[in-house]
């Protein structure tokens, strides 16, 4: 089956993750032979960062980019995502109405890295379903009980991950999807937790979506869903999917922050791939500086924690305060073991 000449790909974008978004775009362009029309749901991107994203055309000639301003005030009062109560996630629900000329589109989270041609996703047959998605591996007992008790979702429902969506926007418009789901978001604002996934599960009902192979949104997390409702998603199956991966979802393991996965403590899978594409973007220097700052902070805390632990157990642990000779106001703390083994020196303001 031949691909159309242009593949429409939507993202949500804001300044705080602009370098991650640029890296995702670079990975799609690098691996895809077709021409890609990128549509960025602009939830707060400054003009300079828009120019930086457009400068990727100096490296790739197979894409266009359009910024679509989103007024986040229209989502005021809805349940936000995470401790920051972010409401930009609702922007993707507007996609069918924003480009009425498009019949089918791809949506990607900004922390998706393409490791193969995105046309492989584009060519998936929706089989009359409104959307296609991958089962969420992190669907554990906590979320199962939440969906069952708070949302009325059936036990056998295979919970989707909305970080990658193949969406029949023509069908969405016919069913008035955007208006109905936003209305549902208001009705269920006290119950929903994982915003879009919860809403899709309620609105479409039990397993009423085209289920994709995990290679199209593969995450480096423990396989929880197998125990809950999808026994066929075995660890052996996932190992095979890693060999044929198309799209990697850097959640919860974020390669721009850590070498290890904060979710399970393992080294991140395919860690180098993020940085391979990041260096193709104008945000590479900033990303690396943030990464090293983050790593340094983490290891400093680890050392201090170890030092404090030693201090509580070893009577011969000594802390010395010294004045700086050139600046008497600025002091430092020296940590020594047995009064002579230097461990750490920290400057104090």
Is the pLDDT confidence value at 87 over 90?
yes
- Residue 87, SS3 per DSSP: coil
Cα 99 to Cα 7, 39, 180, distances in angstroms: 13, 10, 18
Tell me the fold of 6-282.
Spore Coat Polysaccharide Biosynthesis Protein SpsA; Chain A (3.90.550)
**Residue 238: half-sphere exposure toward Cβ, Cα within 13 Å:** 22
Cα angle, residue 248 at apex, residues 112 and 114 outer, rounded to 5°: 65
pLDDT digits 0-9 by tens, 200-229: 999 999 999 999 999 999 999 899 999 999
pLDDT band at 336 (very low <50, low <70, confident <90, very high): low
pLDDT band at 292 (very low <50, low <70, confident <90, very high): confident
DSSP secondary structure letters along 247-271: EEE--S--TTT-SB-TTT-SBPTTH
Instruction: Return the pLDDT at 2.
Output: 45
Interaxial angle between packed helices 271-278 and 284-313, expressed in degrees from 0 to 180 and rounded to the nearest 10: 140
pLDDT band at 124 (very low <50, low <70, confident <90, very high): very high
pLDDT band at 257 (very low <50, low <70, confident <90, very high): confident
Containing H/E element for 41? strand 35-42
pLDDT band at 348 (very low <50, low <70, confident <90, very high): low
- Spatial CA neighbour of 35 closest among 64, 2, 72, 13: 64
Q: What percent of the chain has pLDDT over 90?
A: 74
User: Do 179 and 142 meet the contact criterion of CB atoms below 8 Å apart?
Assistant: no
Q: What percent of the chain has pLDDT over 70?
A: 83
Higher pLDDT, 125 or 253: 125
User: Do 337 and 343 meet the contact criterion of CB atoms below 8 Å apart?
Assistant: yes
Average pLDDT, integer, range 1-26? 88
Q: What is the mean pLDDT of the chain?
A: 89
User: Do 78 and 93 meet the contact criterion of CB atoms below 8 Å apart?
Assistant: no
User: Do 29 and 63 meet the contact criterion of CB atoms below 8 Å apart?
Assistant: yes
- The gap between the terminal CA atoms of the chain, to the nearest Å, is 66
Instruction: Return the pLDDT at 57.
Output: 97
Backbone angles phi, psi at 255, to 5 degrees: -65, -20
- Parse the chain into domains and list their residue ranges: 6-282, 294-348
pLDDT digits 0-9 by tens, 273-289: 999 999 999 999 999 99
pLDDT digits 0-9 by tens, 136-167: 999 999 999 999 999 999 999 999 999 999 99
Average pLDDT, integer, range 95-115? 98
Is the pLDDT confidence value at 113 over 70?
yes
- Spatial CA neighbour of 172 closest among 146, 223, 209: 209
CA-to-CA distance for 23 and 254, rounded, in angstroms?
13
Q: Is the dihedral of CA 54, 56, 61, 63 positive or negative?
A: negative
């Amino acid at each position: 089956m031949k691909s159309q000449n242009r593949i429409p790909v939507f993202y949500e974008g804001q300044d705080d993750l602009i370098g991650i978004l640029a890296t995702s775009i670079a990975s799609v362009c690098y691996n895809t032979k077709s021409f890609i029309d990128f549509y960025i749901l602009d939830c707060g991107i400054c003009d300079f960062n828009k120019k930086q994203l457009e400068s990727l055309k100096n490296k790739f000639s197979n894409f266009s980019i359009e910024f679509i301003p989103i007024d986040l005030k229209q989502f005021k009062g809805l349940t936000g995502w995470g401790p920051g109560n972010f409401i930009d996630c609702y922007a993707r629900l507007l996609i069918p109405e924003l480009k009425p000329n498009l019949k089918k589109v791809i949506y990607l989270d900004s922390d998706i890295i393409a490791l193969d041609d995105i046309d492989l996703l584009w060519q998936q047959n929706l089989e009359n379903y409104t959307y296609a998605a991958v089962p969420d591996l992190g669907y554990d007992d906590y979320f199962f009980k939440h969906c069952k008790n708070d949302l009325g979702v059936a036990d056998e429902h295979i919970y989707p991950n909305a970080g990658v969506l193949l969406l029949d926007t023509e069908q969405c418009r016919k069913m008035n999807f955007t208006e109905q789901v936003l209305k549902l978001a208001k009705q269920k604002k006290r119950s929903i937790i994982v915003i879009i996934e919860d809403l899709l599960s309620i609105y479409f009902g039990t397993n009423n979506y085209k289920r994709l192979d995990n290679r199209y949104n593969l995450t480096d997390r423990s396989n929880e869903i197998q125990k809950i409702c999808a026994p066929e998603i075995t660890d052996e199956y996932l190992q095979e999917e890693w060999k044929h991966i198309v799209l990697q979802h850097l959640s919860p393991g974020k390669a721009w922050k850590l070498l290890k996965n904060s979710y399970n403590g393992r080294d991140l899978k395919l860690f180098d791939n993020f940085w391979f594409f990041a260096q193709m973007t104008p945000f590479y220097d900033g990303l690396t500086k943030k990464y090293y700052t983050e790593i340094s902070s983490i290891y400093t805390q680890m050392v201090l924690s170890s030092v404090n632990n030693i201090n509580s157990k070893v009577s011969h642990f000594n802390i010395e305060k010294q004045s700086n000779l050139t600046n008497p106001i600025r002091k430092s703390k020296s940590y020594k073991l047995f009064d002579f083994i230097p461990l750490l020196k920290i400057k104090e303001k």
